[in-house]
Structure 1
């Protein structure tokens, strides 16, 4: 009869949910208790085929009893457990290890799935804890506990914890980024507020009811109100030029245009009005409409503009007075100069009549006559320039034969060109026909340019060419009035020399009155610097212009363009303007200028 102790032990073993093996030290399985709630599965066949469970009451499985433990367990477990079993037998101490099996192997037998195998898959891995307890010198108690579900649960919990930690980390990072972004926005907002308050211009935000929504400190200072006072006011209170009855139209116009700038007046708290330049911008913010007005006090600018206008008016009056004075003085000087020239010629005739042969005396008389004519020519240039400057120069248009006029000009200029041992080459077909223009001014233009070429060329060549061209082939920019004119045919005069030429810097002084290339030119060649300025102004008065190309040390080419039929300008159209170097008015590159040379009138 079983003792009470054995009964208790039997009940205790049955309560243990793990598989239990009693193994002799030689490796033989003495007894075996399968795990609780275990089902015996068929080996080598269909994993889903169940066998009848063996009775648990006997606490043994006849299949295992009598076999060696290495015949029962898979090879993978045998390799890991051998050392622990031997150590437990040798030391009689408890040994614990964990093993992991993959596939459809079971630690109990290939027939037995992992413990707690309700959701078992034949190819899932399983983890076991093996506890080896020596019960005597010859026997070992081996308890096999299925940790698969526990490990999976731990792994799942660990994975979920890691995911939660990662999510929490991302959340913390996002919160820190959001905090940094908010701090940056707050700093920008504070800086913007600081900048607006200390801006030199007044800033007003106005809503659709003309009420102030925001004002900066500059606005408060300029108007003498506090911010609390201005916030309760409207734009009509400070801008008397904007009454309430026009506000709706004003608002619609701003909304349509988006932005514009205007000048108006603001009124301070004390009633003082001052001019401002206001830039108005239409804005929408948070679904509401506003006008952002930037106002700048332009009191000083208006004062400067008024002073400049007054100075300009005074300068124009002084300039007209100067031109009138020069014109009057030129007339006053011409009379005695003509007398000096006339008497010098009479003295030369009288000397010849009475037989005076003193060469020095005769040379003095000729010098008086030459100097008088030279001075008369200079006074004539000043008179012409004064008339142009004062707007009183007029054109005297007439019809003349251009071939004959050009031939006379070349014949008259021949001695002047030969004076410096220069060679004259004329390219002229003789088929130019009639021209309607101011013959005197055209002759003066050509003589000035030919005299320039002759003066600045030594033992060289001067070429004079003339031809007709249509307006579309001329490199000039015409005004709309000139474009609509019927003057489609132009005459082109070209004077080329092989003289000293000009540099790029000297181009800046070209066609400027009383200016020459440099001081050395004036000392060496003389002149007042009016010839070219007058010549170009005469050309422009007749609807043409003068262009120039030059290279230092090589020579210069001046080209004159004049309409074949000159039209009188409308009233006020011949007002004088300071001539500029013709760079923007041409369609090709201009290289150099030529020095201005005073000319004797023909």
Structure 2
């Protein structure tokens, strides 16, 4: 009886131990399941992260063959994963050859990680700049290049914009320097000379004969005219740069406008006995800003007179140029031609640049700043037109200007 009871109690005790072990086993299994779920979730999260980032991730073996690509690579390049995994990187990088890849692989083995820029092309053949971060990784006993690739098209565009901005800033600085140079030297010099001459004339006017007074007064008048022209060009240029000059097109009778300018320049024309041929049709009317057009032609004619010799001819002409297209249009083209000193190719290339001082003495040692042509070019561009010159040394110069399109009549 006692022995039987002990056997039963021992058996019961064993059952209890087994139940405990069973509970521990269940708990262990549950913990393992939870851990496996966490690992699975982490792997899914990692895969999701790799597939949803904007950068392309590509694994490449030592032969340049793709062995893994993420979704971003497919999206960025236009290939499916199946297409990618059947390709080599040489097929998307036009700068690589087999020999270059072999050298590149050796560089990867040596440096293990580095960054470079190159050009890749999409499935449709479109090239785009990329930044590649190279990473040497080992997996399953093999070595791979885990390349993280970023499209830097926008970055390159921004760099180009920065370069343009820097260039524009240099132009602005040159403009400012030229402005102060004109004020400090080119304007101050003539003003000082004019003042001294006027003072000298006023002190000795009674000592001069009638003819001498007339000559000196003519010189003083020309000096005043030159100063006024210089000051007007300077102010017009400064106002135009600041945006203070409004574009106000009206109907202009061009023959009458040219004649009025020639009357203002009559003294200089007579002094050199220059022949003027105004070939503008007397019935020609255009729509343009009168102030700007008058300034342009005054500058061109002043220069033509300045660089002409005695008894030469200046011609002002016009032609209507037909522009081909679906809708026939014409362009107003004018020209001012002289037979004077002319210009070299280097002078022509620097003619309309503010950062290049182009001012040659006239045939009677007349001075200038080159600012008049720059103002004229700015005003022509307000009319969506263009200004250019054809010239040869000792033969003369012809300035052409077009004022945009007009409808066919």
Q: TM-score range by the shorter chain?
A: 0.5 to 0.7
Q: Equivalent residues in 2 for 1:464-479 (5 A)?
A: 464-472=315-323
Q: Secondary structure at 1:471's aligned position in 2?
A: strand
C-alpha deviation, 1:381, in angstroms? 2.7
Unpaired stretches in structure 1, ≥5 consecutive residues: 1-208, 217-230, 263-267, 283-292, 474-482, 567-602
Aligned match of 1:461 in 298, 312, 318? 312
Query: 2:353 corresponds to which residue?
Result: 512
Query: 1:535 corresponds to which residue?
Result: 376
Aligned match of 1:421 in 273, 289, 301? 273
Q: Equivalent residues in 2 for 1:190-589 (5 A)?
A: 212-215=60-63, 234-235=68-69, 242=73, 249=80, 259=92, 274=115, 276-279=117-120, 313=165, 316-317=168-169, 320=172, 357-359=206-208, 371=223, 374-389=226-241, 393-432=245-284, 434-472=285-323, 488-513=329-354, 515=356, 524-563=365-404
Take 1:452 and 1:245, find their aligned partners in 2: how far apart are those partners?
Answer: 59
Q: Secondary structure at 2:62's aligned position in 1?
A: strand
Take 2:84 and 2:66, find their aligned partners in 1: how far apart are those partners?
Answer: 25
C-alpha deviation, 1:437, in angstroms? 0.9
Cα 1:408–1:244, aligned 2, differ >3 Å: closer, same or farther?
A: closer
Take 1:295 and 1:450, find their aligned partners in 2: how far apart are those partners?
Answer: 60
Q: Greater relative contact order: 1 or 2 (C-alpha under 8 angstroms, separation 6 or more)?
A: 2
C-alpha deviation, 1:411, in angstroms? 2.8
Query: 1:112 corresponds to which residue?
Result: none
C-alpha deviation, 1:325, in angstroms? 8.9
Relative to total residues, which structure has the larger helix share, 1 or 2? 2
Q: Secondary structure at 1:405's aligned position in 2?
A: helix
Q: Answer whether contact 1:465 1:495 (CA < 8 A) is retained.
A: yes
Take 1:505 and 1:327, find their aligned partners in 2: how far apart are those partners?
Answer: 23
Take 1:326 and 1:517, find their aligned partners in 2: how far apart are those partners?
Answer: 12
Take 2:256 and 2:63, find their aligned partners in 1: how far apart are those partners?
Answer: 80
Cα 1:484–1:517, aligned 2, differ >3 Å: closer, same or farther?
A: farther
Take 2:311 and 2:349, find their aligned partners in 1: how far apart are those partners?
Answer: 26
Query: 1:91 corresponds to which residue?
Result: none
Cα 1:551–1:320, aligned 2, differ >3 Å: closer, same or farther?
A: closer
Q: Secondary structure at 2:206's aligned position in 1?
A: coil
Cα 1:519–1:457, aligned 2, differ >3 Å: closer, same or farther?
A: closer
Cα 1:368–1:404, aligned 2, differ >3 Å: closer, same or farther?
A: closer
C-alpha deviation, 1:461, in angstroms? 2.5
Compute the RMSD of aligned alpha carbons: 5.9
Cα 1:561–1:249, aligned 2, differ >3 Å: closer, same or farther?
A: same
**Deviation digits for residues 22-68 of structure 1 (CA, Å, limit 9, x no counterpart):** xxxxxxxxxxxxxxxxxxxxxxxxxxxxxxxxxxxxxxxxxxxxxxx
Q: Answer whether contact 2:309 2:340 (CA < 8 A) is retained.
A: yes
Q: Answer whether contact 2:359 2:369 (CA < 8 A) is retained.
A: no
Take 2:113 and 2:278, find their aligned partners in 1: how far apart are those partners?
Answer: 76
Cα 1:513–1:260, aligned 2, differ >3 Å: closer, same or farther?
A: same
Take 1:242 and 1:215, find their aligned partners in 2: how far apart are those partners?
Answer: 19
Cα 1:368–1:514, aligned 2, differ >3 Å: closer, same or farther?
A: farther
**Deviation digits for residues 532-576 of structure 1 (CA, Å, limit 9, x no counterpart):** 23223322221222343333322222222225869xxxxxxxxxx
Q: Secondary structure at 2:337's aligned position in 1?
A: strand
Q: Secondary structure at 1:498's aligned position in 2?
A: coil
Q: Answer whether contact 1:435 1:564 (CA < 8 A) is retained.
A: no
Cα 1:518–1:448, aligned 2, differ >3 Å: closer, same or farther?
A: closer
Cα 1:331–1:490, aligned 2, differ >3 Å: closer, same or farther?
A: same
Q: Secondary structure at 2:320's aligned position in 1?
A: strand
Q: Which has the larger radius of gyration?
A: 1
Cα 1:442–1:247, aligned 2, differ >3 Å: closer, same or farther?
A: closer
What TM-score do you get using the length of structure 1 for normalisation? 0.38
Deviates further, 456-465 or 446-455: 456-465
